[in-house]
Each structure stands twice: as C-alpha cells, then as structure tokens.
Amino acid sequence: MGLFDFFKGQKNEETHNDPVTNEKSDQITIQYETKLTARELKADKTQITEIVDKMVEEDPFKHYYKGKTLEDMTPLAQRLYKYEAITTVNVDFHTKEKDRILVVVEGKPVGFIPEDKARTIQENQSRFLLTAFVYVTGGPYIEYDKEQDKPVAGESPLGLDIFIQFT
C-alpha cells in the first residue's frame, strides 16, 4: 500500500456528525437553502454599487471577464460580465426581532429578508451550520453582437445574488 492509497483510504473513511441527531453519516445533508437578490431586499442602486465596489477592491484575483478580452469574443461566445467571478463570504445576518433579519454585506446594509424566509432562517440558525456567500451580477460586459457582426461592450444594472445554506 502506497502513501497515496493510505491517504485515499483515510478520506473515504471520514464521517460527519449530524447536528440534530448526533449520529454519524457519510455526507453532509443540506437542510435548507435559498437565494435572495439585493433588489428583493429593497436595496437601491447606490447601496449595490457601494457593496460591489468594496467587493472588487478586496478581491485578490481581479479575474475580470474570465480572462478574456473583447478581441477573444467570437460568434459562439457567451456574454461575459466583468465582475462575474467576484464573490464574498463577508455576509452577516442581524436579527432585529422575530421574523426580521437585516442582511449586511461587506459591512453595508442591503435590506431585510422577506418575513417567510426570515422565519425559516431563524428556525434553522440554532440547529444547523450556516454558509452564506454573495456573487455580483450584471455590470459591464463583453459579447459578440451577431447583428453588427462584431464584438461589443455594454453594461447592465449591477446586482447581488445572496446564497444561504444550512447543513
């Protein structure tokens, strides 16, 4: 048995404790997941822009347009957004009262989670492990315009997609 086989065997033998039943299981089960948008949380354009600017500033890679340029765009290429690879896990949930949770991204308030989702999140917070992250949507993009038969640059409104998951 080689060293690789030893570590491979160790990895396969890993188990996880279920936080509810305290029983061992072979894989982590998603208990609840949801996606919210900044617009759904009633964030305005200025708030979204400030958060995106902070996310871009703190991103260590700055891998814009998936490394492509306008010259790389062909008739078969999909639209590429400048900030589509920008993400953060700097997401906080501040419970103001029952069924009212304020979402804060990069230290800036985005808005309140709708009541029905807030209730479910509050129920799960004490029982499961929370994972949350935010992606930038929209903004500057490049694509191939088939009507003009050339690559073009454009811009759409910025947005944020907020993913919440309990395991």
**Residues 70 and 77: beta-carbon distance below 8 Å:** no
| 3 confidence band (pLDDT: 50, 70, 90) | very low
The pTM (predicted TM-score) of the whole model is 0.79
**Tally of residues, the chain:** 167
Which structural domain, as residue segments, surrounds residue 99? 28-166
Contact between 93 and 131 under an 8 Å Cβ cutoff? The reply is: no
- Please give the Cα distance from 80 to 152 (Å, whole number): 11
What is the average pLDDT across 105-121? 96
Is residue 22 domain-resident? no
Residue 10 domain flag: no
Is residue 13 predicted with pLDDT exceeding 50? no
| Within a domain: 138 | yes
Q: Of 68, 94, 96, which is closest to residue 81 (Cα–Cα)? A: 68
Please check the confidence at residue 20 and state whether its pLDDT lies above 50.
yes
> Is 20 part of a structural domain of the chain?
no
| Residue (of 38, 37, 41) closest to 114 by Cα position | 41
- Residue 5, in any domain of the structure: no
Domain presence at residue 60: yes
Torsion angle, alpha carbons of 94, 99, 103, 104, to 10: -20
Split at pLDDT 50, 70, 90, the class of 10 is very low
Q: pLDDT for 48-96, tens place per residue?
A: 999 999 999 999 988 999 999 999 999 999 999 999 999 999 999 999 8
pLDDT at 58: 94
Residue 103 lies in a domain: yes
What is the average pLDDT score of the chain?
88
Query: Six-digit token pair at 64?
Result: 């814009």
User: For residue range 23-33, what is the model confidence (pLDDT) as tens digits?
Assistant: 655 678 999 99
Is 3 a member of any domain?
no
pLDDT at 19: 57
pLDDT at position 121 is 95
Confidence band for 126, pLDDT divided at 50, 70 and 90: confident
The closest of 52, 59, 49, 163 to 113, measured between CA atoms, is: 163
Domains of the chain: total: 1
In sequence order, what are the beta bridge partners of 64? none
